[in-house]
Amino acid sequence: MSREAENALLLLVGVATAMITTGGAYTRYVKASLLPWLTVTAVIVIGLALVSIVADIRRGSAPDDDHGGHSHRGSVAWLLLVPVVVLIFVTPPALRPGAAAPKVTAVSTEVLRRPFPALPDGRAPEVSIPDVLIRAAHDTAGTLNDRLITVIGFTLAETDGVDLGRVVIICCAADAQLARIHLRGPAAAELRNYPEETWLRVEGTVTPGKADGDSTSIPTLQVQSATRIEAPANTYA
């Protein structure tokens, strides 16, 4: 591959990074907190490509020091076309629950029981599903007890009823896992009519558990009300 083509691909990789970062699609692949680093990366890669292109034009010809006959400049750089095409033209969707490992969540089994900070004030503060799981399993202060909370997730049909799920990623989509809670109570019965993976905002109270540090037991939410909503921009929790 020629030097200009390599520079052009380098530029395209930088542009692809910038596009998924500014367009928000990056949250389908990595944690939202990676935003500043992706921005810096896009600037570095685009800058590197522009500097190389400008330097080659000013020089009038590419420097010889990395040809030198023995150079391994081969065709491997063509592979960079793959992420460019995938990220710019295809932009794969966020993971569906079926693709996430079917286990509870990212917390471990034997954990120090400790009191958690109280939930925010308000009638029904929003709590993420992983947070519900962690508090239900490990919270000795009982911050979930007798509190109305709001959770957001998608429906997962089960034999005994409906579960509310959320895909959790820790670093990138390669380590995705599925977090779920049971939805129960009279108000939950009609949720069975929704198709799989309907996004819901649910208000309810978590049935007090034992907080015994067993993260494999799935907590149950007694539903008071449930509203159908659009899928959030960042579908991961």
Partner 1 sequence: MRTVRLPESASMPVLVAAVVACALLGSTLRAAVYDSEALSTAGTVFSGIFVQALPFLALGVVLSALIAVFVTAERLSRWLPRRPAAAVLAAAASGAALPGCECGSVPIARRLFGEGAVGAAALTFMLAAPAINPVVVVSTVVAFPGQPQMVFARVGASLITAIVMGLAWSRWGRTEWITRRLPRAIDGQASRWHTFTEAARHDFIQAASYLVIGAAAAAALHVVVPDWLMAHLAGQLLLGVLVMAVLAVVLALCSEADAFVAASLTMVPLVPRLVFLVVGPAVDVKLFAMQSGMFGRAFAIRFAPATFVVATAAATVVGVLVLGQRA
CB of 79 to partner 1, least distance (A): 4
Question: How far, in Å, CA of 234 to CA of 214, rounded?
Answer: 29
Closer residue to partner 1 (CB): 72 or 123? 72
Closer residue to partner 1 (CB): 46 or 200? 46
Residue 155's DSSP bridge partners are: 164
- DSSP H stretches of helix in the chain: 3-23, 35-59, 81-84, 129-138, 186-189
Closer residue to partner 1 (CB): 55 or 118? 55
Closer residue to partner 1 (CB): 30 or 127? 30
């692949």: which residue's tokens? 29
DSSP conformation class of 29: T
Please tell me the total number of residues recorded for the chain in this structure. Answer: 237
Query: With the C-alpha atoms ordered 204, 138, 129, 221, is the resulting torsion angle positive or negative?
Result: negative
